[in-house]
Amino acid sequence: MSVDPGELLQRISATLKADIGPEVGNEFAKTQTFMASVVLDKVSKQLTLGPAHAAAELADTSSLVEALGPVLKDASGPVATALTTLRAEQTVAALGPLVEALYAAPSEQRQAALEQIRPVLRRDIDRRMEIAQ
């Protein structure tokens, strides 16, 4: 019988927190036990939610690239370079240089582009918070 790695780490985390931590007499060791539980809990969430989050990020960035095409069709210089990178990488991390380039370049398209980008960044933050909680 195969156990999901995320579930296994969650069980170990719960055992550390509920059974082992309270029995440790040394305060430093007790603190370390509880911190290990927190770390395992976070890694468990990353393993469990990672594939769904990666798929959501790809869907978001793919849609964003499509939406930005008409908005930034006349882009040049750093904005065009950053947009090309976003098209190639299709990651939220690739949005940083694009946002920087949009703010640095005088552009009528800036506001329209940022209105498309902000919801993607918000959903990325929400996914990260899901793991952090």
Query: 119-130, pLDDT tens digit by residue?
Result: 999 999 999 999
Q: What is the pLDDT of residue 84?
A: 96
Query: 20-64, pLDDT tens digit by residue?
Result: 999 999 999 999 999 999 999 999 999 999 999 999 999 999 999
Say which amino acid occupies 44. Answer: S
Cα separations in angstroms, 86 against 16, 35, 77, 110: 42, 37, 14, 16
| Count of Cβ atoms closer than 10 Å to residue 117 Cβ | 20
Residue pair 117/64 in contact (Cβ under 8 Å)? The answer is yes
Q: How many domains does the chain have?
A: 1
**Which domain range does residue 28 map to?**
5-132
